[in-house]
Amino acid sequence: GKLCVIDEEGVTFTSHIDGSMHRFTAERSIDVQHNIGADIIVAFDECTSPSADKDYQKEAMERTHRWAKRSIMAHKQNYQALKRQGIYGVIQGGRYLDLRAESARALCAMDFDGFGIGGSFTKADLGDSLRVVNEILPEDKPRHLLGIGEPEDITKGVALGCDTFDCVAPTRIGRT
The b/e string for 79-89 (b: 16+ C-beta within 10 A; e otherwise) is eebeeebbbbb
Each residue's pLDDT expressed in tens, for the chain with a length of 176 residues: 678 999 999 999 999 899 899 999 999 999 999 999 999 999 999 999 888 999 999 999 999 999 999 999 999 999 999 999 999 999 999 999 999 999 999 999 999 999 999 876 677 788 999 999 999 999 999 999 998 878 888 899 999 999 999 888 778 888 88
H-type alpha helices, 15-122: 26-36, 54-76, 79-84, 97-108
pLDDT at 176: 86
**pTM of the complete model beyond 0.85:** yes
Give backbone dihedrals phi and psi of 161, rounded to 5 degrees, phi first. 105, 10
